[in-house]
Structures are given as structure tokens and as C-alpha cells.
């Protein structure tokens, strides 16, 4: 497959999946030398609504054709981050209908999540395809956008195409067996020069088999079960799950005083080299929040979990003195 190379501030990226990882890490990863503290609030599950209802209507998206920052943060890095070729599937299949080309680029899967990248190209129509609502089936089971914690990110390419990263939790899927994957894009949202978006129905359906041996099953789970007291509020960190290219942190949500709603508490993950990562969203169920982090963990031996709160302030506070250190190797 002839993958386009993207150079981001001197970092060479050789695949679509790496584009998204680098984009997320460049915007969500801080090197030790970086002193900026300009964190932005994470939009979390709202990205699901953005993908379904349309990127062009979101305040997070500029209607002009440019790269768009995703929800993983805004720090820069100066080293390369890639998924090993052995850990991902190159697909590279293109289907054209209604003069819209949809390319399923590549896929990465571990025993908890599937991620795949898609490129939209409607330049031949004179409009701008940028919205998807993928119907994904794995072994004939439909992935639900809420139950399977769907999230998406977008890159507006300089050549007037759009690349999208889609991600689903594999809750309820037996990853010890081969996975029969069907991805059906039966509608594509296109925006014209007047910034009016409409849905185009068509046939863009992909299917492929993921051999069970391709599922990345290496993982480490550390039970933490520690409380952190901040401003009379009790935060609770339950456990951390470490996969080769991502982390899941299980914590509680917090009910504020004089407020009937529970609010999530976000955390900074700091590795043993001093690099810091902001979560890229997550899900809340029964008062337990699962936060996701896109991190190459293969060489990391220990982590520090640092709470980041904004209970009553417009700017979040990073509580480095409340950090919990976890040895993972």
C-alpha cells in the first residue's frame, strides 16, 4: 500500500494510524523540557456526538480545510511514536460511490479496543466529505456507540481529503477467536462551499478477518484502590490497565456540593522520563469512570497518576503533591 508520508515539525510518519497517534501525542504529550501549563479541558464522550451530528457544526471545528486538534491535549513532542507493523493490519481498500471515495486504511486491535482509520475524498464532486457514522459489526454483533464507547478524531489534510480515526471498545467480544469485521458507511456527510452539510447515501461497505493471533493481548493490570482528598472531596483511583499502546485508568466521579450532578475527575499520567499525558476521553458507568490514554508503554517501568481538577475554577489545577506512583515492570 502506498501510504502518504506526513511530516509534522520534522517527525516522519509513514502510515495513517501513526498520523493520528502522533497527532494525539504531539497535542497530548509533554516532554520534560516543555514548561507550558496550557492544558485544555477534555471533551471526552462529546466526540461521539460530534462524529454523528457533523464536525462542521461543532465549535471545536473550523469550517476551513485545515488540521484539527483532537481531544488528546496540546503539547508537542520531539520523538517518533509508531505502532509496529506486526501489531497492525494494512487494509488500503477503496470503494467509490456517488463520486465519493472511501478508503479503509489500516486497523489496530488489542484485547480491549479496535481502532481503524478511514480517508474520505469527494474532490471530484466539488464538495467536502467529512462526516461518518460507521455501522461496525464484529462476529455479527453490532457495536453500539454508547455501550462500546465509540470515539472519533479527524485530520483535515492539505490535499482536501479528510482522515478519520474510529475506535470502539470490545466489551462482550471474544478476542480469543478470529474476528469477522464488517464496516458499513451507508451515509457520508458532505459540506458544500456555502458550509451547508447534507447526508449522501451510498454503498461503502468493507469486510475483513482479523486472525486471533493479530490481537495484541499483552496487558498489565495494577490494583490501586487509593483515595485522594482534595478540598474536602474524596477522589478514588481503582486500577490501571496498561496495554502496549494505550492505558485505561479506572477512577470515581465526584458529586460537588450544592450540585446534583457528579462530575468526572481527570488525571495526568506522568512516566518515568518525566513525560506527561492527558486523557483522550472515556466513559462513566455506575459512578466509575474509565479514562483512555494513547501512550507507547513498552519501555515504561513506572507511572505517576496525578489528579487534575477544576471543581470551581475556570482553569484546572494539577495536584502534583497528590500523585500516586505505580510500578508496572
Query: Residue 81 sits in a domain of what CATH number?
Result: 2.60.40.1630
Average pLDDT, the chain: 76
Same domain, 27 and 115: yes
Domain match, 201 and 246 both: no
What pLDDT, on the 0 to 100 scale, is given for residue 181? 96
Pairwise pLDDT comparison (51 vs 284), residue with the higher score: 284
Assess if residue 1 is contained within a domain.
no
Claim to verify: residue 320 and residue 235 sit in the same structural domain: yes
Which of 214, 242, 277 is the endpoint of a domain? 214
Which of 11-15, 77-81, 172-176 is the most confident on average?
172-176
Residue 292: pLDDT over 70: yes
The CATH number that applies at residue 226 is 2.60.40.1640
* Domain match, 147 and 254 both: no
Measured in residues, the chain has a length of 329
Query: Is a pLDDT exceeding 80 seen at residue 44?
Result: no
Asked if residue 297 is part of any domain, the answer here is yes
User: Is residue 253 domain-shared with residue 180, that is, in the same domain?
Assistant: no
Q: Are residues 41 and 59 located together in one domain of the fold?
A: yes
Residues 95 and 171 grouped into a single domain: yes
Say whether both 192 and 245 belong to one domain.
Answer: no
Please give the share of the chain, as a percent, with pLDDT higher than 70. 71
Q: What order of strands is seen across the sheet that includes strand 179-184?
A: 141-142, 135-138, 179-184, 205-210
- Torsion angle of the four alpha carbons 275, 278, 279, 281, in this order, in degrees rounded to the nearest 10: -160
Report in angstroms the alpha-carbon separations of 155 from 85, 277, 296.
22, 20, 21
pLDDT at residue 258 greater than cutoff 70:
no
Q: Specify if 55 maps to a domain.
A: yes
35 and 116 housed in the same domain: yes
Of the residues 191, 214, 237, the one at which a domain ends: 214
Task: Provide the residue range defining the domain that includes 232.
Answer: 220-327
173 and 299 both lie in a single domain: no
Is there a single domain that holds both residue 193 and residue 228?
A: no
Domain boundary pick from 214, 230, 254: 214
What pLDDT digit, counting tens, does each position of 139-154 carry?
A: 999 999 888 888 888 8
| 184 located within any domain | yes
Q: pLDDT, tens digit, for every residue of 101-129? A: 999 998 989 888 998 989 999 999 999 99
Pair (186, 232) in one structural domain: no
Provide the number of structural domains found in the chain.
2
Confidence of residue 257 (pLDDT cuts 50, 70, 90): low
pLDDT value at 97 more than 60: yes
| Residues sharing a CB contact under 8 Å with residue 66, sequence separation 6 or more, in sequence order | 156
| pLDDT tens string 163-202 | 888 889 998 899 999 999 999 999 999 999 899 999 999 9
Task: End-to-end CA distance of the chain: give it in Å, rounded.
Answer: 36
pLDDT at 156 over 90: no
Amino acid at each position: 500500500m502506498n501510504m502518504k508520508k506526513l511530516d509534522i515539525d520534522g517527525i516522519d510518519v509513514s502510515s495513517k494510524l501513526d498520523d493520528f497517534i502522533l497527532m494525539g501525542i504531539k497535542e497530548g504529550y509533554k516532554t520534560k523540557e516543555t514548561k507550558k501549563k496550557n492544558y485544555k479541558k477534555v471533551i471526552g464522550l462529546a466526540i461521539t456526538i460530534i462524529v454523528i451530528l457533523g464536525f462542521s457544526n461543532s465549535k471545536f471545528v473550523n469550517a476551513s480545510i485545515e488540521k484539527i486538534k483532537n481531544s488528546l491535549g496540546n503539547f508537542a513532542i520531539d520523538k517518533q511514536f509508531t505502532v509496529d507493523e506486526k501489531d497492525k493490519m494494512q487494509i488500503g481498500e477503496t470503494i467509490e460511490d456517488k463520486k465519493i471515495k472511501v478508503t479503509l486504511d489500516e486497523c489496530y486491535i488489542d484485547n480491549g479496543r479496535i481502532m481503524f482509520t478511514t480517508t474520505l475524498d469527494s474532490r471530484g464532486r466539488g464538495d467536502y466529505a467529512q462526516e461518518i457514522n460507521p455501522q461496525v459489526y464484529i462476529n455479527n454483533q453490532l457495536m453500539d456507540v454508547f455501550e462500546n464507547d465509540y470515539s472519533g478524531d479527524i485530520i483535515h489534510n492539505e490535499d482536501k481529503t479528510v482522515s478519520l480515526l474510529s475506535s470502539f471498545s470490545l466489551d462482550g467480544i471474544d478476542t480469543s477467536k478470529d474476528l469477522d469485521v464488517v464496516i458499513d458507511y451507508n451515509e457520508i456527510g458532505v459540506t458544500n462551499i456555502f458550509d451547508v452539510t447534507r447526508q449522501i447515501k451510498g454503498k461503502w461497505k468493507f469486510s475483513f478477518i482479523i486472525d486471533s493471533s493479530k490481537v495484541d493481548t499483552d496487558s498489565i493490570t495494577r490494583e490501586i484502590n487509593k483515595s485522594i482528598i482534595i478540598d474536602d472531596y474524596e477522589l478514588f483511583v481503582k486500577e490501571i490497565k496498561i496495554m502496549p499502546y494505550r492505558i485505561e485508568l479506572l477512577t470515581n466521579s465526584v458529586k460537588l456540593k450544592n450540585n446534583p450532578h457528579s462530575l468526572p475527575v481527570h488525571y495526568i499520567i506522568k512516566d518515568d522520563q518525566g513525560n506527561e499525558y492527558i486523557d483522550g476521553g472515556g466513559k462513566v458507568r455506575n459512578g466509575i469512570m474509565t479514562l483512555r490514554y494513547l501512550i507507547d508503554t513498552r519501555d515504561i517501568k513506572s507511572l505517576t497518576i496525578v489528579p487534575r481538577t477544576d471543581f470551581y475554577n475556570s482553569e484546572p489545577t494539577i495536584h502534583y503533591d497528590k500523585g500516586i506512583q505505580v510500578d508496572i515492570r
